[in-house]
Amino acid sequence: MNLNAAILDYCAQHSTPEPLILQELSRTTHLRVVQPRMLSEWSQGLLLQLLSQMIQPRYVLEIGTFTGYSAICLAQGLPANGMLYTYDVDDEALAIAASFFARCNRSSQIAAHCQSARQGAPTLGLTFDLVFMDGDKREYMQDYEMSLSLLRSGGFLLADNVLWDGKITEQAPANDKHTLTLQAFNDFVKNDARVEKIILPLRDGLTIVRKK
């Protein structure tokens, strides 16, 4: 089915509306950040929220906080004793995220770290129930192996941007490291017997992986 603008608008009109705090976060990001297109938008944020509410994860790991949109969505499924750990290397984006985390309904359950996730997450000594991979696309293979090693059996990993604006099916030039890595990543996950997986063609493509 060709999802034209009218169909997408119909879907949005018949889904839970975007909360005010996320509308404001989105506005602030567009005003203050150089690359606002890295931000999640509500159709994906709502899916992340609903998946988290289904899983009810005790521990969530997020790679790539940016200004905090997806973290606030994922935190909605945490039980009362749950925690979300989110990592980013961009301190300016994290400062915006921190100001919105402080005001959101899950403020005490989100721990944001200014550090590469691959350096920080393994030192927490935790096993995660849910991982959201949304960091540097050129590092997806390394992030995936690290995440899988920290994920419990039966846990879920979500990887964003796996269709990369449609470039994923095209022949990529040798210097297009983002597309080439994402193609290699998708092929690797397809052949990875440790997991079950599906690519959802939502927005820029979201892979859902379940560790066996």
Ligand X SMILES: C[S@@+](CC[C@H](N)C(=O)[O-])C[C@H]1O[C@@H](n2cnc3c(N)ncnc32)[C@H](O)[C@@H]1O
Least Å distance, CB 134 to ligand X, is 4
Q: List the Cα angle 128/209/109 in 5-degree steps.
A: 30
What's the order of all strands across the beta sheet hosting 195-200? 110-114, 83-88, 59-63, 128-133, 151-160, 206-211, 195-200
Place of tokens 């691959």: 118
Least Å distance, CB 65 to ligand X, is 6
Least Å distance, CB 71 to ligand X, is 7
Least Å distance, CB 10 to ligand X, is 24
Structure tokens at 107: 């403020």
Please pick, from the candidates 47, 110, 117, 206, the single residue that binds ligand X as defined by CB under 6 A.
117
Structure tokens at 7: 């169909």
- Taking the CA atoms of residue 200, residue 74, residue 135 and residue 204 in that order, the dihedral angle to the nearest 10 degrees is 30
Applying CB under 6 A, does 136 fall inside the site for ligand X?
yes
Q: Backbone phi, then psi, for 175, in 5-degree steps?
A: -90, 0
Q: Backbone phi, then psi, for 15, in 5-degree steps?
A: -120, 165
Number of residues forming the site for ligand X (CB under 6 A): 20
Applying CB under 6 A, does 66 fall inside the site for ligand X?
yes
- What residues from 70 to 89 belong to the interface with ligand X (CB under 6 A)? 70, 87-89
Instruction: Give the residue with the Cβ less far from ligand X, 146 or 195.
Output: 146
- What residues from 147 to 186 belong to the interface with ligand X (CB under 6 A)? none
What sign does the CA torsion over 115, 120, 126, 131 have? positive
Please pick, from the candidates 19, 57, 64, 82, the single residue that binds ligand X as defined by CB under 6 A.
64
C-alpha–C-alpha distance, residues 23 and 21, integer Å: 5
Applying CB under 6 A, does 116 fall inside the site for ligand X?
yes
Please pick, from the candidates 26, 40, 147, 207, the single residue that binds ligand X as defined by CB under 6 A.
40
Instruction: Give the residue with the Cβ less far from ligand X, 129 or 134.
Output: 134
Instruction: Give the residue with the Cβ less far from ligand X, 32 or 154.
Output: 32
- The contact set with ligand X (CB under 6 A) reads 38-40, 63-64, 66, 69-70, 87-90, 93, 116-118, 134-136, 139
